[in-house]
Amino acid sequence: MEKILNLKNTVIFVFIAVIWKIFLAGTLFLHPDEAYYWLWSKQLALSYYDHAPMIAYFIKLTTIFSDSELAVRFSAIIAMAVLSVVIWKFVIKLFESELIASACVILLHSMPIIFSASFIMTPDTPLFLFLSITTFFIWKFIETENGNYWYPAGLFFGLALLSKYTAVLLLPGLAVYIIVFKKYYWFKKYQIYLSLLIAFVCFFPVVYWNYQNGWISFSYQLGHGLSSSGYKINYVFDYLGSQMLIFSIILFLPTLVAAFGYLFSKDPKKVFLASVSLSTILFYCFTALKKSPEANWPVPAYFTFAVISAKYFMEGGKTKKILFISAVIFNIAVSVIAGLHAKFTIIPLEKISKNIAKAEATNWFYGYDKLADKLIAENIKYVLTPSHQTSAEIAFYSKNKIKTFADSKSSKKSQYDIWGKPEIFNSNDQGAFVYEVFEDRKTSPYRVDNLFKNISKEIDEFEVIRHGVIVRQFKIEKVSN
């Protein structure tokens, strides 16, 4: 097994993965969320309605000279390459084993969710990077009890909080470790308090922005993750099923069992890995009693969870090693096929079911560029939509030739609400109200005659066709004055 899983082969694997991700990042159209975050990067702020601001800063850094799809996504590719080095050093520091380090790096790169997050820009990308580095420095403190390691840990924890608020879930895991090994004397070290101060200083801009805006972002995130009435046990099974799909169908449950075993061992390394992993995974398992979490939410825990998986299977017998390699190969196959399908539509889903072809996730990469082209060709100067994602896509693919707005009357609020109401346009400027048609809603989500004096009676249609199936349909009402 050492002939396969070693430093040389790991470097080759990561290099090939990076090249493949650069190809996809440069050739796939932006996902609506990515276009929305790109729009943030054009209006930098201390924070935003939906999330903390780090993703906007990442995109800004790589789009200084270009607004191509690759430029928008390039920081995600860099982040995953840097993370590979962090993972390697972390595992070598823990177990002094190239075999386990190689298995862990390759496993993470092969996971469908990490594969996607390492070339598609989401807030999880900087979160995963900074939280992993934080974990690395915390372990260096645990290993050496050198209080100076708290300073970089505090800095990167602050950057993780600037990426996504759920970074705070690292703290309960650390608390479990402190309780298990009775490390209460740590609180006598002044460095831990300076570390928390550094983290707070990093995060303070978000606090200040929320203070200025009625704590709207914090309220939204709490409601988004926890608001629901009643308890539904089936959401827990849905959640665990989604984690099996995005981590590994073969490895997830055995690794989860191993993590619980590690938690009750007396080995500081194993307890640390388990407590940090399970604090996040179990938190979302609890929230699933109220509301089904999105599959990507526990991903930051996979830094340490993947280490548990690699160690558990690599230190087992031949059967476990073969099972691990088989799982990684399966993950790679799924990720590569998904990437090929996203780009070249290689799976004839329409022959299986038109409903599946219409609903599949890679459809999000299609159609918005052509919609923007159509609006530009018709000399549209501004667009109002009920969707912040649609508005952002039109802004990106029109190269900001079209001024876009989103109204949250019929959908959830967004940063567009923070940016304020639309300006008054010249009566000669041609505008459009654009909305997506759904099966349960064939007409406009609300009337716009109170916003414009002139509304065309003719409603144009635009269809996005893929698999030979209409996967998305828009209606366009021309408006002016």
280 burial level (CB within 10 Å; 0-12, 13-18, 19+): buried
Task: Give the pLDDT mean for 131-146.
Answer: 96
What is the bridge-based pairing of β-strands 431-436 and 454-466?
Answer: unpaired
Higher per-residue pLDDT: 294 or 27: 27
Higher per-residue pLDDT: 77 or 299: 77
Q: Does 359 score more than 60 pLDDT? A: yes
Task: Give the pLDDT mean for 227-243.
Answer: 81
Q: For the ranges 85-99, 197-211, 292-306, which has the lowest average pLDDT?
A: 292-306
Q: Output the CA torsion sign for 101, 106, 111, 117.
A: positive
CA 35 to CA 383: how far, in whole Å? 16
- Per-residue pLDDT at 408: 72
- Per-residue pLDDT at 300: 87
Q: How many CA atoms lie within 13 A of 354 on its CB side?
A: 6
3-state secondary structure of 393: helix
The ranges assigned to domains in the chain are 7-220+307-343, 363-480
Distance of CA 246 to the CA centre of its chain: 13
Task: Give the pLDDT mean for 207-228.
Answer: 84
In contact, 90 and 135? CB cutoff 8 Å? yes
CA dihedral 32, 34, 38, 40 (to 10 degrees): 80
Q: Does 230 score more than 80 pLDDT? A: no
Q: Does 443 score more than 90 pLDDT? A: no
Task: Give the pLDDT mean for 146-163.
Answer: 97
DSSP letters, 71-92, are HHHHHHHHHHHHHHHHHHHHHH
Distance of CA 173 to the CA centre of its chain: 21
Q: In the structure, what pLDDT confidence band is assigned to residue 1 with cuts at 50, 70 and 90?
A: confident
Q: In the structure, what pLDDT confidence band is assigned to residue 439 with cuts at 50, 70 and 90?
A: low
327 burial level (CB within 10 Å; 0-12, 13-18, 19+): buried
Q: Does 261 score more than 80 pLDDT? A: yes
DSSP letters, 265-297, are SS-HHHHHHHHHHHHHHHHHHHHTTTSPPPTTT
Q: Does 330 score more than 60 pLDDT? A: yes
Q: How many CA atoms lie within 13 A of 290 on its CB side?
A: 12
In contact, 400 and 372? CB cutoff 8 Å? no
Q: Does 299 score more than 90 pLDDT? A: no
CA distances from 72 to 19, 116, 369 (A): 16, 14, 16
**Tokens linked to 131:** 């939280």
- Per-residue pLDDT at 191: 96
Among residues 431, 465, 249, 469, which one has the least CA distance to residue 355? 469
Q: In the structure, what pLDDT confidence band is assigned to residue 226 with cuts at 50, 70 and 90?
A: low
Q: Does 225 score more than 80 pLDDT? A: no
- Per-residue pLDDT at 378: 93
CA 340 to CA 338: how far, in whole Å? 6
Task: Give the pLDDT mean for 60-71.
Answer: 96
Q: Does 448 score more than 80 pLDDT? A: no
Cβ-based neighbour number of residue 474 at 10 Å: 20
User: Dmax of the chain from CA atoms?
Assistant: 76
CA 278 to CA 170: how far, in whole Å? 10
Q: For the ranges 9-23, 359-373, 439-453, which has the lowest average pLDDT?
A: 439-453
